[in-house]
């Protein structure tokens, strides 16, 4: 029936197309039929039964992601996830929203598909990472911006950072930081300079010669100075010299390789309609009510990821006080449920009648905690109607059951998404 590369002209909320549930029920990928089941979840008024659908609905093999997505951020989902829902539940020109935008995967994919991109995140780094890629400059513009930077004009950098960088590299990083912060303070950051800042943030530390640093952890998190000292001692390494300008241009070229003149012009037109709010997802008064066609998001999962600690070096480079960023890290399920309910209440406000929320909850504690069972009553308390639970299970087998597909066991890797709808 359906296949992994289907792209429909009309969304599934149109009577001519049938329902989204009917589509996933009959979906097949490489002869694997969708496993259909149901779960019953306790609610404030009793319980509710929600259908579950499990299959390999998307993988990296089914559709290569655009090069603009190729920056790292902790705990981000693949672009194929938002594309699956954007393609089937919205039309070009609709507004797609992510209240926990992270690196901006949903926003970038929405814009590439001709939708208006809205996002929110309490971490100002998210805007720094996402906004430049919604309106990418040309390589020539970036080259000119880099040529305008005086890499000899550096502030005195923290000496402790020499565990990551060669002295000359650290001088260049510090000069780049000084230039960008000065331009930001003046309010004169150009589009190309915002791009340079975004690329630099993504190249600060990593595990190859394509980063400014000596070998360290992958670039989606920065280890502490003390931890890097231990890494250097264990590997008997010293930070080598890296050419900051060359790395910036190399990464820019890679990120822009899929950008055509037509595609760039379309992104620029859509960028004028994009909205990014820095603040809590439960309080987005800047966003109009009844405007969003689809929200696709993944919230912080209990205390699994410490975004503040992971991003301390990025915050330093961007002049952000990491201690002032009000990240929500819930250690108990009840607190997490209250947090999610408040966010979904605000998402419902900005969602148009009949609009959808695809809420990805992944797996916690090796599947011992299934957050779907918490999210469904939270969404209902917020005034949303649960439509279905979709489980994207890679290497799915016909003998697997839709409830209890184990992550990192039996060769599977899953995304678990609760799909809500705002009543008319």
pLDDT tens readout for residues 22-50: 999 999 887 889 999 999 998 888 899 99
Domain membership of residue 7 (yes or no) is no
Residue 322 lies in a domain: no
Is position 4 within any domain? no
Number of domains in the chain: 2
- What is the predicted pLDDT for the residue at 59? 73
Q: What is the CATH number of the domain that holds 398?
A: 3.40.50.150
59 and 100 co-located in one domain: yes
Predicted confidence band of residue 164 (pLDDT cuts 50, 70, 90): very high
Measure the CA dihedral 407/409/411/413, to 10°.
10
413 and 279 part of one domain:
yes
The reported pTM is: 0.90
**H or E segment at 356?**
strand 351-360
Containing structural domain, residue 249: 139-255
51-76 confidence digits (pLDDT tens): 999 999 987 555 578 999 998 877 67
The predicted model gives 227-244 an average pLDDT of 97
Got the DSSP string for 27-83? Answer: BEETTEEPEEEEEEEEETTEEEEEEEEEE----TTTSPPPGGG----TTPPPTHHHH
Same domain, 281 and 230: no
Q: Are residues 191 and 161 in the same domain?
A: yes
Q: 380-400 burial, b for 16+ CB within 10 Å, e for fewer?
A: bbbebebbbbbbbbbebeeeb
Q: Give the residue with greater pLDDT, 407 vs 68.
A: 68
Residue 23 lies in a domain: yes
Residues 190 and 103 in one domain: no
Residue 270 domain-assigned (yes or no): no
Question: Which among 320, 303, 297 is positioned nearest to 375, based on CA atoms?
Answer: 297
130 and 179 in one domain?
A: no
Q: Which residue has the higher pLDDT, 77 or 7?
A: 77
The mean of the pLDDT values for the chain is 87
User: Per-residue pLDDT for 370 more than 90?
Assistant: no
346 neighbors 281 (Cβ within 8 angstroms): yes
Residue 319 lies in a domain: no
- In this structure, are 279 and 411 located in the same domain? yes
């Amino acid at each position: 029936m359906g296949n992994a590369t289907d792209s429909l002209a009309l969304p599934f909320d149109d009577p001519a197309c049938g329902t989204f549930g009917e589509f996933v029920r009959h979906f097949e990928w490489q002869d694997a039929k969708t496993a259909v089941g149901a779960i019953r979840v306790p609610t404030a008024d009793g319980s509710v039964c929600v259908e579950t659908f499990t299959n390999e609905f998307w993988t990296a093999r089914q559709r290569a992601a655009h090069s603009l997505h190729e920056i790292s951020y902790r705990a981000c989902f693949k672009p194929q996830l938002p594309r699956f829902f954007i393609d089937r539940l919205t039309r070009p020109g609709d507004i797609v929203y992510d209240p926990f935008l992270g690196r901006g995967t949903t926003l970038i994919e929405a814009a590439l598909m001709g939708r208006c991109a809205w996002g929110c995140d309490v971490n100002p780094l998210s805007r720094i990472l996402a906004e430049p890629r919604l309106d990418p400059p040309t390589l020539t513009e970036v080259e000119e911006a880099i040529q305008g930077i005086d890499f000899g004009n550096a502030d005195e950098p923290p000496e402790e950072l020499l565990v990551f960088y060669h002295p000359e590299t650290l001088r260049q990083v510090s000069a780049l930081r000084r230039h960008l912060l000065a331009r930001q303070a003046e309010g004169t950051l150009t589009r190309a300079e915002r791009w340079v800042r975004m690329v630099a943030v993504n190249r600060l530390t990593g595990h190859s010669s394509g980063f400014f640093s000596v070998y360290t952890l992958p670039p989606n998190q920065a280890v502490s100075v003390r931890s890097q000292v231990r890494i250097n001692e264990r590997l008997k390494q010293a930070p080598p010299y890296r050419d900051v300008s060359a790395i910036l241009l190399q990464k820019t070229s890679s990120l822009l390789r899929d950008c055509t003149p037509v595609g760039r012009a379309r992104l620029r037109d859509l960028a004028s309609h994009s909205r990014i709010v820095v603040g809590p997802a439960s309080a987005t008064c800047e966003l109009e009510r009844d405007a969003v066609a689809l929200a696709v998001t993944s919230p912080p999962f209990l205390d699994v990821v410490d975004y503040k600690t992971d991003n301390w070096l990025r915050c330093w480079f961007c002049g952000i006080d990491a201690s002032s960023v009000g990240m929500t890290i819930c250690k108990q399920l009840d607190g997490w449920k209250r947090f999610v309910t408040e966010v979904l209440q605000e998402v419902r406000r900005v969602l148009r009648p009949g609009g959808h929320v695809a809420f990805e909850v992944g797996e916690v504690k090796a599947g011992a905690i299934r957050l779907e069972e918490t999210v469904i009553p939270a969404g209902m308390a917020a005034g949303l109607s649960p439509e279905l639970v979709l489980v994207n299970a890679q290497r799915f087998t016909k003998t697997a059951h839709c409830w209890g597909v184990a992550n990192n066991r039996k060769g599977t890797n899953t995304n678990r998404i609760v799909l809500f709808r705002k009543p008319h």
